[in-house]
A = this chain, B = another copy of it.
Amino acid sequence: MTISLIPVQGLPEIHPGDDLAQIISAHAELAAGDVVVVTQKVVSKAEGRLVAVDPDDPLSHKVHVEAEAVRVLRRRGDLVMTETRHGFVCANSGVDLSNVAEGWAALLPLDPDRSARWIRDGLHARTGLRLGVVVSDTFGRTWRRGVTDVAIGTAGVAGVVDLRGTTDALGRELAVTEVCVADELAAAAELVMGKAAGVPVAIIRGVEPTWLRESSVRAEIVRPYHEDLFR
C-alpha cells in the first residue's frame, strides 16, 4: 500500500523536436502501473512552444501573456491573472521565463492532454508497460500563499475519481466524493523535483490500479465557466 516518489536524474537539457518518451525511458527503470509526471517546461521545449523575448526588458513577454489569454480576471501591478484557451486560470497565462534560455519564454503546450498521450504512447511503444502520464505545472491559488504543482494534462491515469456510492469507514454514504487525484499526483511529484533541483520528471509507483484509465484534464478537471463561483 506504500507509494514511492522517485525523481528521474540525469536528464539532458531538452530542445525542440526531442523525443521525451525516448529520453525518459533511457533514464528511468519503469514498472507496470507507474505514473510518470513530466513538468510542463520540458514538454513545451520538446514541442517548440518557445517565443523570443527581449532579455533587457523584463516585461517583453507580456504581449504573449495577452495572446495566450481568452479572458483577463485580475490585474495587480505586473501580475495578470488570466484564463487560457485551455480553460486554466493562472498567472501570466502560464508564460514563464524560468528554466528557459535567456532571450526566450516558454508557452503552455497547445493541448497538454495530447502531450500526455504522446508521451504515454511513446513509453508504451518502448517498454510494453501500461503506464499513466501527468503533465504538471506550477500554479498559485486563491486564499492560500505559495504555489503547488497541478495537472494540466493526463493520459492513462484518472483526473477526478468519483467515490459516489461508496461509504465512509462508518458505513455512511460519502458526501464529498470527487477527489482530484491527478492534482495530488502532480503535487506529490513536486516534492522530489524542486524548482531549483532541475529534475523535470518523477515516477510515482504503487498507485491504486483502478486509477489507471483513460482521462483528460480538460474534460474532468477544468471547471466550466458557468459552474464557477469565483470568476
Per-residue interface assignment for chain A, residues 137 to 171, with 1 indicating a CB less than 8 Å from any chain B CB and 0 otherwise: 01001111111111000000001110100111110
Contact between A183 and B176 (Cβ–Cβ < 8 Å)?
Answer: no
In the complex, which of the residues B2, B145, B161, B221 contacts A180, with contact meaning CB atoms closer than 8 Å? B145
A25 within 8 A of B: no
Contact between A148 and B184 (Cβ–Cβ < 8 Å)?
Answer: yes
Which residues of chain B come closer than 8 Å to A31, judged between CB atoms?
Answer: none
Contact between B89 and A142 (Cβ–Cβ < 8 Å)?
Answer: yes
A98 within 8 A of B: yes
Contact between B147 and A176 (Cβ–Cβ < 8 Å)?
Answer: yes
Q: How many angstroms from the CA of A88 to the CA of B178 in the assembled complex?
A: 20
In the complex, which of the residues B176, B191, B220, B222 contacts A181, with contact meaning CB atoms closer than 8 Å? B191
Contact between B3 and A179 (Cβ–Cβ < 8 Å)?
Answer: no
Which residues of chain B come closer than 8 Å to A46, judged between CB atoms?
Answer: none
Prevailing SS type, chain A contact patch: loop
Q: How many angstroms from the CA of A1 to the CA of B5 in the assembled complex?
A: 9
Among the listed stretches A15-23, A109-117, A118-126, A193-201, which one makes contact with chain B, having 4 or more residues with CB under 8 Å of it? Answer: A193-201
CB distance from A152 to the nearest CB of B (A): 10
Q: How many angstroms from the CA of A229 to the CA of B141 in the assembled complex?
A: 10
Contact between A176 and B188 (Cβ–Cβ < 8 Å)?
Answer: no
Contact between B146 and A98 (Cβ–Cβ < 8 Å)?
Answer: no
CB distance from A78 to the nearest CB of B (A): 10
Q: How many angstroms from the CA of A177 to the CA of B187 in the assembled complex?
A: 16
Contact between B191 and A185 (Cβ–Cβ < 8 Å)?
Answer: yes
In the complex, which of the residues B9, B89, B175, B207 contacts A98, with contact meaning CB atoms closer than 8 Å? B175
Contact between B166 and A196 (Cβ–Cβ < 8 Å)?
Answer: yes
Contact between B181 and A228 (Cβ–Cβ < 8 Å)?
Answer: no
Given contacts A142-B231, A146-B180, 15 further A-B pairs with CB under 8 A are A3-B5, A98-B168, A99-B170, A101-B170, A141-B141, A141-B180, A144-B183, A144-B223, A148-B180, A163-B195, A174-B196, A187-B187, A187-B188, A194-B208, A230-B230
